[in-house]
Amino acid sequence: MSDLMNTYLACWNETDPAARRTLIDQHWTEQASYSDPMAQVRGRDAVDATIGAVQDQFPGFVFTPAGPVDAHHRQARFTWGLGPADAEPVIVGFDVVVTDDDGRIDSVLGFLDKVPA
């Protein structure tokens, strides 16, 4: 399941819109849902727009893994950090990702553990 985390974070880190959309189309189901304290969306278009909005809000920041993946059945949870490359993350959260039978992301529940004041 660490491959799932790496693929998921790659989607969030891809700043080229066409390349990001290719990743989303390849690794997310058509009606995937994403929910965190700031957004609740459904479908690849909305996921893509949400990722783009986060990148616009935090230009130059990258998502990095911040611990191991805990997984069972078709679900995984992991902690991530968001901040400048090669620096301490300014935001830390964890996501629970549920996949379909083919291993594509179908649902994400995101939580924020550390946010700037």
pLDDT above 80: residue 108: yes
> What's the rounded Cα separation, in Å, for the pair 115 and 88?
13
Question: Cβ atoms within 10 A of the Cβ of 60, count?
Answer: 9
Cβ(65)–Cβ(9) below 8 Å: yes
Cβ(52)–Cβ(41) below 8 Å: no
pLDDT of 1 reads 66
pLDDT tens-digit readout, 6-62: 999 999 999 999 999 999 999 999 999 999 999 999 999 999 999 999 999 999 999
pLDDT of 117 reads 82
pLDDT tens-digit readout, 49-96: 999 999 999 999 999 999 999 999 999 999 999 999 999 999 999 999
> Taking the CA of residue 45 as centre, how many other CA atoms within 13 Å lie in the half-sphere pointing to its CB?
0
CB-count burial class (<10 Å; 0-12, 13-18, 19+) for 31: exposed
pLDDT of 106 reads 98
Question: Cβ atoms within 10 A of the Cβ of 72, count?
Answer: 8
Phi, psi of 19 (to 5 degrees): -65, -40
